Structure 1
Amino acid sequence: MIIMNYNWIDKTKYTIDSFLLMDRWIIRMIISQTQNWDDLRVNMSIALAKRPYVAWYCCHKAPEIKEIVDKLLENAPVNISEEMLRNAEEFIVEALETDIVYTDPETMNSNCDYIINWTEDKLLELADFSDKIVLDVGSGTGRLAFTAAKFAKRVYASEPCDMLREYLRDRIKREGITNMVVLDGTVEQIPFEDSTFDIVMCAHVLGDDFENEVKELERVVKNGGFILDCMGEDNKKRNNQNDKLVTEALKYFNNRVELVGIIKDIENM
């Protein structure tokens, strides 16, 4: 498997101790990947064997992957040197940087180019947020949510990563924001009733299961409301993927305009 290196984090400054800050769903996703990725499996065996407290955490945080972890430990080499451990961890950190960066919101804000290259006017030109009830799905460090909160009646920031939720709450408290609420939730299961929001927005969220994800966005937006999919671009060009996503979006919404109002996709968001 080819590793796509975005250079968001310095692999020499992280270890698999970062796993201790991860949520159940990320642990499950990472450990499950070892079953189909030989290099990750070998290096994960070394790292978990040398850092048994991380293996313990993974098994208790996500008990459904305990059997996989036990197998990794069983197949780990003996007499693991510090150099072997360091090499293994650097491989893991580099291979999983898009997951590990979620444990470090400050680094995410300063190094992820789709965040640092973004300006709030790119969102505000899409819709009028004045006095609206808004949902930001997969809020991350909150660039969309905090922008909308300047104008909206209330903004709900739904984010499945605990470290990012706490980052959002800290900033809300620090800045004295009174119209923004942070909660756990995913695009697959948005924790709100049908037809709740005037505007539902997301960025770098749709795509894994596009049709079902959009159906969930449709479910919670009011009739005549807006769904804003801010696709964006990072430092690895993904023109073909973006073209496909736009095509699927247009195809999907052709027969649903009366239900959701409008969807807009913006490059370089």
Structure 2
Amino acid sequence: MNYNWINPEEISFNCFLLMDRWLIRMILNNYLGEQDFDDKLSITLAYNPAVAWYFAHKSPESKASIDKLIAMAPKNLSPNDVRKAEIFVISKLETSVVYAYPNIMDKNCDYIYNWNKNSLFELADFTDKLVLDVGSGTGRLAFAAAEKAKRVYASEPTDMLREYMRDKIKRENIKNIIVVDGTIEQIPYEDNTFDIVMSGHVVGDDYEHEIAELTRVVKNGGYIIDCIGEDNRKRKVDEELLKRGFESFYHVSKSGGDIYRYRKKIIK
């Protein structure tokens, strides 16, 4: 699906040099298998040796896939043909490429700029709470929560996004947000640490493990919140979350999308 967050023709393929290990691994694990994409990615890696070198060294577990792709690339392509392949790959990987451009995310991603922070505040009382935001991105949830919370820890695995949040914190003199590295698969905090753990557009690859990790770091009587942004997508309620004891809250976005938010009180 193309979201039109970026104009691929304006993006340099060198943007992949700004990506973190987990993103490279995701690209080479989750996207391969579609012949047209595999063909175009093979060209881009073969004709951009700096990016191929970076991918292999940043994500050594992906090196075999990278070598295989490079080997299958056709020889002696024109610069125009290479650029066409680059644009194809950039477009296909739009949701990953945009992580290298946090300012574009905030400006062009409808799920961020159309979002109203009251959608979060309706789900829990954040006053003087200790909060963790998992997969914080550009800080949509974290900066809202910080208006009321005692302290917010914004956990984000992408370096460019972490630095974007840190720049905003410094620029706006915000005192109660701490930005850290981390993923939902392995949250870098002790058991029973937070009053509220929240995320958006993060849970869903491995419900059992992800929710277990979120539950582990929440205090007894605390909340897990899943609060997505606003977009125009038509979606159904997440039955997997309902089966695991989450409440759902539904509204229609300004652009006509089906927005479901989820909350679960944790009793240990």
Aligned twin of 1:223: 220
Aligned twin of 1:249: 241
Counterparts in 2 of 1:183 and 1:79: CA distance versus 1, 3 Å = same
Aligned twin of 2:256: none
| 1:201 aligns with one of 198, 201, 211 | 198
1:103 corresponds to 2:95: no
Gaps of 5+ in 2: 252-258, 262-268
Rounded Cα–Cα distance in structure 2 between residues aligned with 1:33 and 1:264: 29
Q: Normalising by structure 1, what TM-score?
A: 0.89
Rounded Cα–Cα distance in structure 2 between residues aligned with 1:179 and 1:158: 14
1:169 corresponds to 2:166: yes
Rounded Cα–Cα distance in structure 2 between residues aligned with 1:34 and 1:249: 25
Quote the RMSD (CA, aligned, Å).
Answer: 1.6
Read off the aligned partner of 1:40 and give its amino acid letter: F
Q: Answer whether contact 1:159 1:165 (CA < 8 A) is retained.
A: yes
Q: Answer whether contact 1:135 1:200 (CA < 8 A) is retained.
A: yes
Counterparts in 2 of 1:265 and 1:100: CA distance versus 1, 3 Å = farther
Read off the aligned partner of 2:35 and give its amino acid letter: D
Read off the aligned partner of 2:244 and give its amino acid letter: Y
Q: Answer whether contact 2:114 2:231 (CA < 8 A) is retained.
A: no
Rounded Cα–Cα distance in structure 2 between residues aligned with 1:194 and 1:55: 39
Matched residue of 2:244: which SS? helix
Task: Tell me how far 1:14 sits from its aligned partner.
Answer: 1.2
1:129 corresponds to 2:126: yes
Rounded Cα–Cα distance in structure 2 between residues aligned with 1:160 and 1:58: 16
Count residues in correspondence: 253
Q: Answer whether contact 1:126 1:264 (CA < 8 A) is retained.
A: no
Read off the aligned partner of 1:180 and give its amino acid letter: I
Task: Tell me how far 1:190 sits from its aligned partner.
Answer: 0.7
Rounded Cα–Cα distance in structure 2 between residues aligned with 1:165 and 1:128: 26
Aligned twin of 1:257: none
Task: Tell me how far 1:236 sits from its aligned partner.
Answer: 3.4
Matched residue of 1:5: which SS? coil
Rounded Cα–Cα distance in structure 1 between residues aligned with 2:65 and 2:46: 13
Rounded Cα–Cα distance in structure 2 between residues aligned with 1:266 and 1:193: 32
Q: Answer whether contact 1:142 1:168 (CA < 8 A) is retained.
A: yes
Q: How does 1:4-23 map to 2 (within 5 A)?
A: 4-23=1-20
Read off the aligned partner of 1:14 and give its amino acid letter: I
Rounded Cα–Cα distance in structure 1 between residues aligned with 2:182 and 2:250: 24
Counterparts in 2 of 1:183 and 1:263: CA distance versus 1, 3 Å = farther
Aligned twin of 1:214: 211
Q: Answer whether contact 1:137 1:187 (CA < 8 A) is retained.
A: yes
Rounded Cα–Cα distance in structure 2 between residues aligned with 1:212 and 1:66: 27
Read off the aligned partner of 1:83 and give its amino acid letter: N
Q: How does 1:84-99 map to 2 (within 5 A)?
A: 84-99=81-96
Task: Tell me how far 1:49 sits from its aligned partner.
Answer: 1.6
Q: Answer whether contact 1:230 1:265 (CA < 8 A) is retained.
A: no
Task: Tell me how far 1:187 sits from its aligned partner.
Answer: 1.0
Aligned twin of 2:78: 81
Q: Normalising by structure 2, what TM-score?
A: 0.90
1:45 corresponds to 2:42: yes
Gaps of 5+ in 1: 254-261
Residue identity (%): 58
* Per-residue deviation, residues 153-194 of structure 1 (Å, max 9, x unmatched): 110000111110010111111111111100011111111111
Rounded Cα–Cα distance in structure 2 between residues aligned with 1:121 and 1:131: 17
Rounded Cα–Cα distance in structure 2 between residues aligned with 1:216 and 1:119: 27
Aligned twin of 2:183: 186
Rounded Cα–Cα distance in structure 1 between residues aligned with 2:47 and 2:200: 37
Q: Answer whether contact 2:28 2:65 (CA < 8 A) is retained.
A: yes
